[in-house]
Amino acid sequence: MQCDEDKIITVILNLIENALKYSPENAVIRAAIACAPPAKNLDLTIKNPYFVEKIDLDLLTSEFYRGDVLTNGAGLGLWICQKVMQLHKGALTLSLEDDVFTCLLSFPLSQRVK
């Protein structure tokens, strides 16, 4: 797998910072990497507890959208993460189930970035 390492590091750091920012104090944040044959992707999953009544997952990757207007930020982090993943022919998938927020980064193993 070839990639722009600086941009991928930026994506991963942004997701970890978001997990820390939006989790309760002293929460456990879990990260896992998976790539088992015959997998065609390398997957990085970041999970954190998230206790908010309503969140629109479809809007979280929209430009200038902030799920929590009471926190600092321009609403560009997840949008940039999604664009970087698209440039790498990968995917950013967000989900919320049972008060656990999950970010899945999926990198194709056969793609080359120019």
Say whether pTM exceeds 0.95.
Answer: no
Strands 91-97 vs 41-49: parallel, antiparallel or unpaired: unpaired
List the beta bridge partners of residue 94. 103
pLDDT of 30 over the 80 cut: yes
Q: What is the pLDDT of residues 72-89, one digit of tens each?
A: 556 688 999 999 999 999
The pair of structure tokens assigned to 73 is 């930020």
Q: What is the pLDDT of residues 9-24, one digit of tens each?
A: 999 999 999 999 889 9
> Residue 94's pLDDT is what?
94
* 106 closest CA partner among 37, 32, 22: 32
pLDDT tens per residue, range 31-78: 999 987 777 889 999 999 987 767 777 878 777 666 655 455 566 889
> What torsion do the CA atoms of 97, 51, 66, 93 make, to the nearest 10 degrees?
-20
